[in-house]
Chain A
Amino acid sequence: QVQLQQWGAGLLKPSETLSLTCAVYGGSFSGYYWSWIRQPPGKGLEWIGEINHSGSTNYNPSLKSRVTISVDTSKNQFSLKLSSVTAADTAVYYCARGSLGPYCSGGSCYSYYYYYYMDVWGKGTTVTVSS
């Protein structure tokens, strides 16, 4: 059974860089999209970005200028860096495994309809930004 274990600093000062790492245990690293998601206190889920095993990344446009996601396939780990943090970055940060593909039925796959889901999540890391 695949498990994600995440860790990183939980208390930062404004302008510092948030750094989190997520390790993948019990499953393949390739063939999936590895995401970071955050949830500010009392609010909904916000996707931060993702990386695949080859290092290709996609970022939320609203955070793109401050986000770097990297991968270390030798350790089955991926990492998040978010620079110049402010109090607005205070949140629980999750890592998750994503699967993406075309919808298939009866042996045929359709290029116009897709599925995407995140089936494995880390437990979350609370990050607080305060002076």
Chain B
Amino acid sequence: SSELTQDPAVSVALGQTVRITCQGDSLRSYYASWYQQKPGQAPVLVIYGKNNRPSGIPDRFSGSSSGNTASLTITGAQAEDEADYYCNSRDSSGNHLNVVFGGGTKLTVL
């Protein structure tokens, strides 16, 4: 299957921990990558590989994976973390030819 499924919306109180999940068969073969997108801006990679953060991404962002589910955890959410979050991998069926995105999760920081 080439689909990645995310919850459409999640909310978290300021300073609390939130987990955003992504499910799909391809995640049994691929580590998900995660992107943050704020209104009017291009997506920004926040987590890749097993649990790697690009330079400049705060360490409150972390990733994990189990079976067909990948998770992005924000520990101590800040107001500036309010954004849309997308997971991404390649389709593991066939020859891994296609790239797939989850539908996105809108994170609200209360």
Partner-B contacts on A (CB < 8 A): 35, 37, 44-47, 50, 58, 60-61, 94, 98, 100, 103, 105, 112-119, 121-124
Contacts and interface: CB of A to CB of B under 8 A. Distances in A.
Nearest to A121: B42
B14 interface: no
A46 B104 CA distance: 11
B45 A119 contact: yes
Of B29, B99, B101, most buried by chain A (CB within 10 Å of CB) is: B99
Given A58-B98, A113-B31, A124-B42, A44 B86 contact: yes
A61 B98 contact: yes
Given A44-B84, A60-B99, 12 more contacts: A44-B104, A45-B35, A45-B104, A47-B99, A58-B99, A112-B29, A113-B29, A113-B31, A114-B90, A114-B96, A115-B33, A118-B43
Nearest to A114: B30
Q: Which bucket holds chain B's interface residue count?
A: 20 to 34
13 contacts: A44-B86, A45-B101, A47-B101, A58-B97, A61-B98, A94-B43, A100-B90, A103-B49, A113-B31, A114-B29, A114-B30, A117-B88, A118-B43
B38 interface: no
Main secondary structure of the interface of A (DSSP, over half): strand
Interface string B70-110: 00000000000000101011100000111111111000000
Interface string B31-48: 101010100001111001
B45 A117 contact: yes
